Chains A and B, each alone.
Chain A
C-alpha cells in the first residue's frame, strides 16, 4: 500500500476513494474495473453484506426493549439521527453517534446532518427513489440568472444514467416526459386500487399532471447476485438478497471481484495535502478511529466521495499554512450554496370506499407526481422552478384505530381486526435555490475527539421556498378533493435544513475557477488529480431525488479521469 511517513512517496496505490457510500462505491467499481489499484478509506465501522444486517426480518416480538424506543439513549447519543424515519433499534448500528461525532448544532439555526457510520454509508439507508434530471434542470440557473450555469447538459449525462441504471436496477414506468426522462427500467411495481383511483381522478381533472408509480432502485427482476424484491417492507434494515441497490450489495462486490480493491474501515480522513507547484493533492491524512494512529497515503488519483458535508469538511480543513485558506477554495464557493429539498408539506385525506381491498405484501415504494409547475415557461405563480409529490395510499391499522376507537373488551378487539379506512398521502419535494448565505463552515473553536474542527451550519429558506410550499399544500388538497377524499388534512411543517437528507452544493461545478470548485468533470479546478463526485458538486438542486445523478456523475468522472491519466494529462 501507499502508506507513507515521509515525503519520499512510493505510489503503490493508483487511486484512493474516500467514502464507501453511494458514490464512493461507484468510484471504486469503475476505477478497479479499469485496472487501477484502489484503496477505499471509510471513516465508519466495518460491516458485511448480509451478516451485518442484524435487524433484517426481525419479527415484532423480538425487538430490543420490547419494541419501545430507548428514549434517553436516543436523546443523549442520537439526537439528530433519531429524527429520521429509518432510525430505530433495527437500524441503529448503521448510524452516526451524535455524542461521539458531534457537530455544532444550535436550536436557533438548526440543521440536521443525517449520516451513517458504517461501510456502505447512507447507501444502506437511502429511500431508493431514482429520477433523471433533464435540461429543464440543467438550464435553469443560466436562464434565470440564479447561481452559476451548469457546465454540463442532459446529453452529457444521459449515457451515464443508462450505464448506472442498468447496473443498479431501477424499476419504473416509462412516461415519455421531456422533463423527467425515462430510464432503463425494469418492470414497474404496481399502484394499489386506491392509488389508481386517485391517479385517474388527477388525469381527468388536471391536464398538466400525471401520477405514476415511483421509480426505485429496488429490483422487480433479478440481476447477477441479486434477487428480485420479496416485499418484506423495511429496506433500511439491510437486504441480504441485495434486492435494493447499496454499495455493500452491488458496487463493492464488483470492485472486490477485480482483485484491484482494498478497503480500510475506521479510517477517518482529516485533510488533504496539496502541492502548489504541481497543483496536485500529494497525500491524504488519515486517523484510525480505533487506535488514534495517524497515517498518510498518496495516489495518482483521489476520489473524494465522503458525502456533501463530509467532503466539504475535508476540503475546508485542507488549508495552506500561510494563507490559512483551503487550496480548493479558489472561488469562495467552497462551503456555500448549500441546498436541500423542501419536505413535509402536502396533504392527507380519507378515501371512502374500497373496503373490500387490503393490499398483500409491503411495497417499498410509493407514487410519484412529476413536477408540473413552470415547466413550459413561468406560470406566474410567484415562484420559480417546482416540486414533485411522493406518497401512497394505505389503510389505517390497529395503532391508529385503537386510539380513535373508544371502549375496550371483546367488541373493541373484534373491531380492530378489520383495517380502518383508506387514506392517501401526498408530500411535496421542492427545489431549494442556491443561496451564498447557506453554508457549512469549520467552527472556530469546537473540535471533535481527534482535534478536527467541527462543522457548523447556517441555513435559511427563502421566499421562493415558502411560496412553492404554499402551492404544494393547495394543489395536494385540490387533487385529493378531485379524488373524492374526505377529512382532508393539509400539512406544512416547520422547515429544517437537511431534513430531506438531500443536502448538496457546497463544492459546486462550474466552468470558471473563480466561481466554482469543480469543473465539468467533477475535477477540482485547483488540483488535477482530485475529483469530488458526491452531492457537494451540485450547482442546483432540481426537485427530484439526487442519488441517481450523483452516481452518473461519478461514473462519468472516473471515465474522464482514467482517460486523462493514461494520456499523461494528470
Chain B
C-alpha cells in the first residue's frame, strides 16, 4: 500500500494520532489474568526478539534489541497485556512458527534472514486492512502488535530518543521556522 493511499482518509490518520491502540483494549480484572511467570518459552522469546530486530534492524544506528526493546517486550507481553491480547499475540506467533516448520522444516530462529522476512511479510499480509489504524478490540493481530510494540519500545528507549532521534530536554527557545536539514532526524522530548 502506498503512503498516499493510506493518507486519503484523514479521519484515519489524525483521529488515531495520539491514541494508543494498546490502551483501547477491553479491561479485565487482575484476578482473572494469568500468572506473570513463564508466559513465553525460550523459543517463543527468541522468535519475538528476532522479529523486533527485523522490524527495526541495525543500520547506521542501533537496532531494536541493542536499544533494549527485548526488556520492553518482556514487560508488555508478560505483565501489561491482558489475557485476550496475549492470546491473539501467541496465536499469530504460533502460526508464523508453524509456517516456518512447514516451509523450511526448521525453527524460525534458525532460518536465513530472507526466509524470516518472508514469513513476517506473510504475517503482515494476513492483517492488511483498508484502515491501517484499525487495530480492533484487542489491538490487532500478532504482526500489528509486534510492530507497534517494537516501534514504541524503540523510539521511547534511550537509544531511540538520543541516537535515532535528537533529544533536547531544555531547548531554551522556540523557532517555528527551524530547518529540518539542521537536525536531520526527529526531535525527542
Asked if B36 lies at the interface with its beta carbon under 8 angstroms from chain A, I say no
Q: Check if A193 sits within 8 Å of B156, measured CB to CB.
A: no
- Interface contacts beyond A72-B27, A230-B172: sample of 9 additional A-B pairs, CB < 8 Å, sorted by A: A63-B156, A65-B75, A66-B156, A190-B174, A348-B14, A350-B7, A359-B175, A361-B172, A400-B13
* A350 cross-chain contacts in B, Cβ below 8 A: 7, 10, 13
Interface centre among B22, B76, B124, B174 (most CB of A within 10 A): B174
Nearest-neighbour CB distance to chain B for A57, whole angstroms, equals 6
16 contacts between A and B (CB under 8 A): A59-B169, A71-B27, A72-B30, A230-B172, A232-B169, A360-B168, A361-B174, A361-B175, A362-B189, A363-B176, A397-B186, A399-B152, A403-B133, A409-B54, A413-B56, A417-B164
Asked if B132 lies at the interface with its beta carbon under 8 angstroms from chain A, I say yes
Asked if B120 lies at the interface with its beta carbon under 8 angstroms from chain A, I say yes
Bound CA–CA A405/B82 (angstroms): 27
Asked if B103 lies at the interface with its beta carbon under 8 angstroms from chain A, I say no
Nearest-neighbour CB distance to chain A for B156, whole angstroms, equals 4
Q: Check if A398 sits within 8 Å of B55, measured CB to CB.
A: no
* A189 cross-chain contacts in B, Cβ below 8 A: 174
- Who on chain A is nearest to B57 by CB? A410
Asked if A568 lies at the interface with its beta carbon under 8 angstroms from chain B, I say no
Bound CA–CA A396/B6 (angstroms): 14
* A376 cross-chain contacts in B, Cβ below 8 A: none
From A71, A406, A419, B1 is in contact (CB under 8 Å) with: A406
Q: Check if A66 sits within 8 Å of B75, measured CB to CB.
A: yes
Q: Check if B158 sits within 8 Å of A59, measured CB to CB.
A: yes
Q: What is the interface of chain B, defined by CB distance below 8 A to chain A?
A: 1, 3, 6-18, 20-23, 25, 27, 29-30, 54-57, 59, 71-72, 75-76, 80, 82, 117, 120, 124, 128, 132-133, 147-148, 151-153, 155-158, 161, 164-165, 167-189
How many A-B residue contacts, CB cutoff 8 Å? 198
Asked if A60 lies at the interface with its beta carbon under 8 angstroms from chain B, I say yes
Given A68-B80, A193-B177, A359-B174, are A416 and B186 also a contact pair (CB < 8 Å)?
yes
Q: Check if B8 sits within 8 Å of A487, measured CB to CB.
A: yes
* A359 cross-chain contacts in B, Cβ below 8 A: 174-178
Nearest-neighbour CB distance to chain A for B138, whole angstroms, equals 13
* B187 cross-chain contacts in A, Cβ below 8 A: 358, 360
From A232, A398, A403, B186 is in contact (CB under 8 Å) with: A398
Bound CA–CA A417/B23 (angstroms): 25
Nearest-neighbour CB distance to chain A for B175, whole angstroms, equals 4
- Who on chain A is nearest to B82 by CB? A71
Asked if A464 lies at the interface with its beta carbon under 8 angstroms from chain B, I say no
Bound CA–CA A166/B133 (angstroms): 47
* A407 cross-chain contacts in B, Cβ below 8 A: 124
Q: Check if A361 sits within 8 Å of B3, measured CB to CB.
A: no
* A450 cross-chain contacts in B, Cβ below 8 A: none
Q: Check if A408 sits within 8 Å of B155, measured CB to CB.
A: no
Considering the complex, which residues of chain A in the window 389-427 have a beta carbon less than 8 Å from any beta carbon of chain B?
396-400, 402-410, 412-414, 416-419, 421, 423, 425
From B147, B171, B181, A231 is in contact (CB under 8 Å) with: B171
Given A398-B155, A408-B124, A410-B59, are A360 and B148 also a contact pair (CB < 8 Å)?
no
Q: Check if A348 sits within 8 Å of B148, measured CB to CB.
A: no
Q: Check if B174 sits within 8 Å of A231, measured CB to CB.
A: yes
Q: Check if A406 sits within 8 Å of B132, measured CB to CB.
A: yes
Query: 1/0 contact trace for A56-92 toward B, CB 8 Å?
Result: 0101110101111101100100000000000000000
From B55, B80, B151, B171, A360 is in contact (CB under 8 Å) with: B171
Q: Check if A402 sits within 8 Å of B29, measured CB to CB.
A: no
Q: Check if B170 sits within 8 Å of A57, measured CB to CB.
A: yes
From B30, B54, B170, B181, A356 is in contact (CB under 8 Å) with: B181
* A421 cross-chain contacts in B, Cβ below 8 A: 7
Q: Check if A61 sits within 8 Å of B176, measured CB to CB.
A: no
Asked if A233 lies at the interface with its beta carbon under 8 angstroms from chain B, I say yes
Nearest-neighbour CB distance to chain A for B151, whole angstroms, equals 4
* B6 cross-chain contacts in A, Cβ below 8 A: 404-406
Nearest-neighbour CB distance to chain B for A211, whole angstroms, equals 14
Interface centre among A65, A66, A69, A396 (most CB of B within 10 A): A66
* A413 cross-chain contacts in B, Cβ below 8 A: 56-57, 59, 164
Q: Check if B178 sits within 8 Å of A357, measured CB to CB.
A: yes
* B184 cross-chain contacts in A, Cβ below 8 A: 417
Nearest-neighbour CB distance to chain B for A535, whole angstroms, equals 28
Q: Check if A419 sits within 8 Å of B132, measured CB to CB.
A: no
Given A402-B151, A408-B55, are A417 and B133 also a contact pair (CB < 8 Å)?
no
Asked if A355 lies at the interface with its beta carbon under 8 angstroms from chain B, I say yes
Bound CA–CA A193/B174 (angstroms): 12
Nearest-neighbour CB distance to chain B for A213, whole angstroms, equals 10
From A191, A396, A403, B132 is in contact (CB under 8 Å) with: A403
Bound CA–CA A251/B79 (angstroms): 44
Given A193-B176, A358-B183, are A65 and B54 also a contact pair (CB < 8 Å)?
no
Nearest-neighbour CB distance to chain A for B132, whole angstroms, equals 5
From A348, A404, A416, B133 is in contact (CB under 8 Å) with: A404
Q: Check if A59 sits within 8 Å of B167, measured CB to CB.
A: yes
Q: Check if B151 sits within 8 Å of A398, measured CB to CB.
A: yes
Q: Check if B157 sits within 8 Å of A61, measured CB to CB.
A: yes
* B23 cross-chain contacts in A, Cβ below 8 A: 69, 71
Q: Check if B14 sits within 8 Å of A489, measured CB to CB.
A: yes
* B183 cross-chain contacts in A, Cβ below 8 A: 358, 360
Q: Check if B176 sits within 8 Å of A195, measured CB to CB.
A: yes
Bound CA–CA A63/B179 (angstroms): 30
- Who on chain A is nearest to B164 by CB? A417
* A57 cross-chain contacts in B, Cβ below 8 A: 169-170
* B186 cross-chain contacts in A, Cβ below 8 A: 397-398, 416-419
